[in-house]
Structure 1
Amino acid sequence: MPIQLCGTEKSKPKFAQSSSGKRISEVKRNSRILELAKTSRSQTREEEEESRAVAEELKKERSRGTEVDWTVNVASSVPPVMAVLHYRRRETPAASPKVETVSFLIGFLTIVVAWIYSEYLAFKKKSIASKVRQSDVGFAEVESDAGKEDDKAVLLEGGAIKSIPSGARIPPTFSTVIRFITLEESFLIENRMLLRAASELGLLLAYFYICDRTDTFGSATKSYNRDLFAFLLILLILVAAITSFKIHLDKSPFSVKPILFLNRHQTEEWKGWMQVIFLMYHYFAAREIYNVGRVCVAAYVWMTGFGNFSYYYARKDFSLPRFAQACSSIDPSISCSYMLYYICPLHTFFSLVVYGIVGVLHKYNEIRAVIIVKFFVCFLVVIIVWEIPGVFEVLWEPFTFILGYKDPNRLKEQLPPMYEWHFRTGLDRYIWILGMLYAYYYSTIEKWIEKLDEAKLKRRILIKTTIVVTSATAAYLWFEYIFKLDSLTYNQYHPYTSWIPITAYICIRNVSQSTRSYTLTIFGWIGKISLDTYISQFHIWLRSNAPDAQPKLLLIIIPDYPLLNFMLTTIILLTTSYRLSELTNTFKTAFVPSKDNKRIMYNMIAAAAIMAILYALSFVFLKVPPMMV
């Protein structure tokens, strides 16, 4: 079956064409083929590596006795470059509106109408108050109310909502829904800023849909240039160092001295620069730093274990609101599988596991033997589930409906649905436990650092030099003998060695008071919105050639200007991610209140009821008219 490079039919030869014209045409055609082959070379290598990985996995499946239906694709008989080009330009037929889309539109339009009406009511109320103020009637009372309203607006627009005073009466959730449906004026004015936030979220999701599910914007294949990649990365570091270098003077939570070991500013900066590398790796298809991406994901999982254990162990707060707030985030997926954003289920799963480990028998957590037994049980369970063949499949099979993923890529479509979850969790199956272990000994390390800083100069220099040299040597040996391996071989060693670069970085980064207190706040800001940028990149920065597929293409807003397009789409990505982060905090405070389990349950039931109503209306709009024809 012939493969058409650009989706066009071959033109018939013109016999009247001169020999020189034929030669020029032949040169142009050959140049075009070479250009296409050059731009897709990195993608071809990626497909070849994926093909090798799939072949290995299929071999394992056959050894386990699993039936694998390997159907030969028509394009498999053509040369690799041609097959990749053909696959890149495959078009999917236009799909009819889905129930999810229609239900979103109904809910979004309802909220927008309510928000516009609330703005009108607020304007009307303000006009009346202004007239009353001019007549000097009740001036003090009106100004007080206006000030409260302004304060509330500022807090809401800043991503926070005033906490409800203790003892205050909270209206039932269903009565709140009824007040909203009936457009009660006092209710709409009171929740005007929340309606504004919901409308903004709807507009952002609409933009996600336009970029991801329509042909409004174009797409292009990814291309990697090491020189450009390094230039952009170094330029960003220099700009960050010049414009956002800051010294933090925060005090240690365990003493009044500024120890700052693994402080909040430092971990946010850590997440930020890792996120930059991760995003650029995706955008430029920088396959040569694949192993760096794996270490970054391992560091994220390490922070999940470290951060959650630190909070639960120190605060002893195992309430439902706290856990719901920790795991809540806006997931603007558009009929996509949950595993497409694999970092999100990884974070949620390991957060849940840490919550359970620290929460079970938490009254005895102060006993060292109990904690040691818990750590031992963690390692034992991981060994049984991930190291013994067949146990993982049996244990996780019931969760296929949420964690299963079938990649539309023809090279991976034969893999089992739980392959992706097995692969992702297997890579970082131990590092979260080490995160908890480091958190458990956090106070001990801080006390040791405090004594070290008070020691004599020669002894202090000797110990710190030893720490730096030992850490650097371990990192170098890991880099030389593990990191340089090809991606498939490296993945086999990663679960057992990812702790080496992470520990070396922590030791060198915190070796002195100065290195602990200095941060680049630009990376800290990116670190605060790292989850939002990770999710958003799939829809408004990158593109896929099929629904629910991995983003192998770039979103193009400015054709023929790749660097200008990169700048514009990156600005949109960061701005949108920041707003999503702010909106997440707003809704989290409004709908997941602290220390109020009853209110959370009411909100969950009300949300389920509203979704059911919207889905029912959407089904009626989509199914009933065709049935009547």
Structure 2
Amino acid sequence: MDPGAATPLLASTVSPGQVAVGLAYVTFILLWLYSELLAYRQRERSAHADGKHDPEQQSLANGQANGEVPPAADAVQVLPMTKSGFARCLQLDQKTLLANREYLKAGAEFGTILFWYYVADRTTVFPEHAKSYSRDVMGFIFLGLTLVAFATSLKKAKAPVLLNRQQTEEWKGWMQVLFLLYHYFEAREVYNAIRVFIAGYVWMTGYGNFLYYYKTKDFSFGRFCQMMWRLNFLVIMTCLVLQNSYMLYYICPMHTLFTIMVYGCLGIYSKVNSSPAGILTKFALCFLTVYICWDIKPVFYAIWTPLSPIMGYIDPRRPSNDQMFEWYFRSSLDRYVWIHGMMIAYLHPFADAFLQRVDSWPLRSRWAVRGMLLAGVAGGFTMWYQLVYMLPKVEYNKVHPYTSWIPITLWCMLRNLLPSMRTFSLSLYGWLGCITLETYISQFHTWLSTGIPNGQPKMLLAFFPAQYPLLNFAGVTAVYVYVSYRLFLLTNTLKSAVIPAKVGPLLWRNFAIFGLASAFLYITALILVHIIPFTPFMSPILAPRTV
């Protein structure tokens, strides 16, 4: 092929996965519209009468809209699939459709956003602009957003607890903003800082999950499945619609893997978790496992190469013979820091008690200790900055797995030095911290532009001409944040319809229904793509991008 020739950036045919998602989307649209028609008729009939709730309405999940097993079904061990809310919706049972309007609408809206991904990223409906780095503009945007957050969203917690939930969500939020700005402006000079931020996300995976499992001792399979749904449902559907590899969104498999490892660390032989010796032994085994599976590279490849259809990735713009390199590189950078997060979570009660004790000391003693802590933070950060952070990219990546815990620990110390610093947080950044997964995935297709299956986001999505870069940034960002927030809500709504928190007949029945429905859609799609010559666009307006 002539490298200078214009090349269509879409596959010549639609994939079975795209057809399967399309069939599901159309089904949800039709069922939702019919449910709205039924609701309209019901409102008309009750206009002159008092409407009453029908307790027999059944939900998509199990017969009730809240996703819990109804009391009368507690003793039932076998739940027929034909009696499920999903099956009754397909049978056009009016009561069930009315009860499930929320879930049907969520499915329809979710599919609409995926269609928006496709239109924005893979067609010429919206143009692309080249990235342009401006340190001044990038710094101004972040500083301006931070000032707005301080002015409008400063929130006080109930107690000055070390590393409380509001604080960690805020932490995720401002890191995510800088991470996204780094991608938008291609700010290569802050690459090392972004590596630290990604390590911070992985650190919080270890920290947050350890705290939950250690305190609640809740290792239920239902809760675990809910977590896996949260981490993977959106990314899997996006991969199907856009014909991308799972590893294009590398943070999702990273968080999934390390979440599973935290779950295994505490869930296996959980009785020893109450023993300091037992928990320290588990930490040591985690370090040993990571060393064997990552530092000995042939072991890593032996484990993961059989999973290359899922974990493999080749950038079409930079072809390579090693499809596992991306997964090895990304996961190895932060292979240890999640264990440090677990260790800090284990020490959390002791550190929190120490800070509370310092807060109660006389003024002079209190500030003497705080002064020493601050001096230690300043000295540690200065040494890390000069000896590690200033290294060139390649050299920095070599030491990052062994040093990323240093700035993270120093930040935790600085951020929690005073009671007021532990009490107050910026809820604007906290809100953004709640939707980091959705903003991470959406940036590829509704803020930036990849253009091709498995392509990196090298261009910017554009609503306005190139001579209006800031106006375009504002417009695209507004749509991008809105779409991300809606996806956050929709993913949780659909999760409540499919996965109950408790393990039981309902969970297994829902798994069976979900699996059978997926298999039916995919087999139907396979048949259709061999019968009908699908094309990825239906008019010149939706023509594929070219290079």
Q: Which residue of 1 aligns with 2:73?
A: 169
CA contact (8 A) 1:259 1:446 kept: no
1:598 paired to 2:505: yes
C-alpha distance in 2, partners of 1:625/1:349?
Answer: 39
1:285 paired to 2:192: no
Q: Which residue of 1 aligns with 2:541?
A: none
Q: Which residue of 1 aligns with 2:291?
A: 383
CA contact (8 A) 1:90 1:545 kept: no
Q: Which residue of 2 aligns with 1:552?
A: 458
Q: Which residue of 2 aligns with 1:45?
A: none
C-alpha distance in 2, partners of 1:174/1:109?
Answer: 21
Residue 174 of structure 1: CA displacement?
3.8
C-alpha distance in 2, partners of 1:472/1:440?
Answer: 25
Q: Give the letter aligned to residue 495 of structure 2.
A: K
CA contact (8 A) 1:431 1:498 kept: yes
SS at structure 1 position matched to 2:155:
strand
SS at structure 2 position matched to 1:596:
coil
**For 2:302, which of 373, 394, 397 is the aligned residue?**
394
Q: Which residue of 1 aligns with 2:388?
A: 482
Residue 109 of structure 1: CA displacement?
1.2
CA contact (8 A) 2:176 2:433 kept: yes
1:566 paired to 2:473: yes
**For 1:583, which of 490, 493, 514 is the aligned residue?**
490
**For 1:185, which of 94, 100, 111 is the aligned residue?**
94
Q: Which residue of 1 aligns with 2:177?
A: 276
**For 2:29, which of 101, 107, 112 is the aligned residue?**
112
| Cα distance change, pair 482–546 in 1 and its aligned pair in 2 (3 A) | same
Q: How does 1:145-544 map to 2 (within 5 A)?
A: 145=53, 162=66, 164=68, 167-169=71-73, 172-176=80-84, 177-249=86-158, 258-329=159-230, 330-331=234-235, 332-333=238-239, 334-410=242-318, 413-544=319-450
Q: Which residue of 2 aligns with 1:36?
A: none
SS at structure 2 position matched to 1:227:
helix
| Cα distance change, pair 458–113 in 1 and its aligned pair in 2 (3 A) | same
CA contact (8 A) 2:65 2:99 kept: no
CA contact (8 A) 1:161 1:589 kept: no
Residues 368-426 of structure 1 show CA distances to partners (whole Å, capped at 9, x for unaligned) of 1111111111111222222224221112222212111111123xx12411101110111
C-alpha distance in 2, partners of 1:165/1:185?
Answer: 21
Q: Give the letter aligned to residue 381 of structure 1.
A: T
C-alpha distance in 2, partners of 1:336/1:597?
Answer: 34
Whose RCO is larger (CA < 8 A, sep 6+)?
Answer: 2
Q: Which residue of 2 aligns with 1:138?
A: none
CA contact (8 A) 2:160 2:420 kept: no
Question: Percentage identity across aligned positions?
Answer: 40
C-alpha distance in 1, partners of 2:406/2:363?
Answer: 29
Please give the TM-score of this superposition, normalised by the length of structure 2.
Answer: 0.90
SS at structure 2 position matched to 1:224:
coil
Q: Which residue of 2 aligns with 1:62?
A: none
Residues 6-48 of structure 1 show CA distances to partners (whole Å, capped at 9, x for unaligned) of xxxxxxxxxxxxxxxxxxxxxxxxxxxxxxxxxxxxxxxxxxx
Residue 556 of structure 1: CA displacement?
1.2
Residue 450 of structure 1: CA displacement?
1.9
Q: Give the letter aligned to residue 353 of structure 1.
A: M
C-alpha distance in 2, partners of 1:370/1:174?
Answer: 48
Residues 235-271 of structure 1 show CA distances to partners (whole Å, capped at 9, x for unaligned) of 111121112122222xxxxxxxx23110011000000
Q: Give the letter aligned to residue 268 of structure 1.
A: E
Question: Once structures 1 and 2 are overlaid, which stretch shifts more, 324-333 or 117-126?
Answer: 324-333
Question: Once structures 1 and 2 are overlaid, which stretch shifts more, 101-110 or 496-505?
Answer: 101-110
| Cα distance change, pair 216–235 in 1 and its aligned pair in 2 (3 A) | same
Q: Give the letter aligned to residue 87 of structure 2.
A: I
Q: Give the letter aligned to residue 246 of structure 1.
A: K
**For 1:99, which of 11, 16, 21 is the aligned residue?**
16
Residue 168 of structure 1: CA displacement?
4.0
Runs of 4+ more than 6 Å apart: none
C-alpha distance in 2, partners of 1:116/1:129?
Answer: 20
| Cα distance change, pair 465–172 in 1 and its aligned pair in 2 (3 A) | farther
Residue 227 of structure 1: CA displacement?
1.4
Residue 93 of structure 1: CA displacement?
5.9
SS at structure 2 position matched to 1:376:
helix
C-alpha distance in 1, partners of 2:418/2:400?
Answer: 29
C-alpha distance in 2, partners of 1:454/1:93?
Answer: 65
Question: Once structures 1 and 2 are overlaid, which stretch shifts more, 118-127 or 309-318?
Answer: 118-127
Residues 306-329 of structure 1 show CA distances to partners (whole Å, capped at 9, x for unaligned) of 011111111001111111112212
SS at structure 1 position matched to 2:461:
strand
| Cα distance change, pair 173–273 in 1 and its aligned pair in 2 (3 A) | farther
C-alpha distance in 1, partners of 2:167/2:352?
Answer: 15
Residue 429 of structure 1: CA displacement?
1.1
Residue 107 of structure 1: CA displacement?
1.5
Q: Give the letter aligned to residue 100 of structure 1.
A: G
Q: Give the letter aligned to residue 425 of structure 2.
A: T
Please give the TM-score of this superposition, normalised by the length of structure 1.
Answer: 0.78
Q: Which residue of 2 aligns with 1:17?
A: none
| Cα distance change, pair 473–190 in 1 and its aligned pair in 2 (3 A) | same
Residue 472 of structure 1: CA displacement?
1.6
Residue 127 of structure 1: CA displacement?
1.8
Unaligned runs of 5+ in 1: 1-72, 76-85, 134-141, 250-257
Q: Which residue of 2 aligns with 1:31?
A: none
- Pairs aligned (count): 517
Q: Give the letter aligned to residue 108 of structure 1.
A: Y
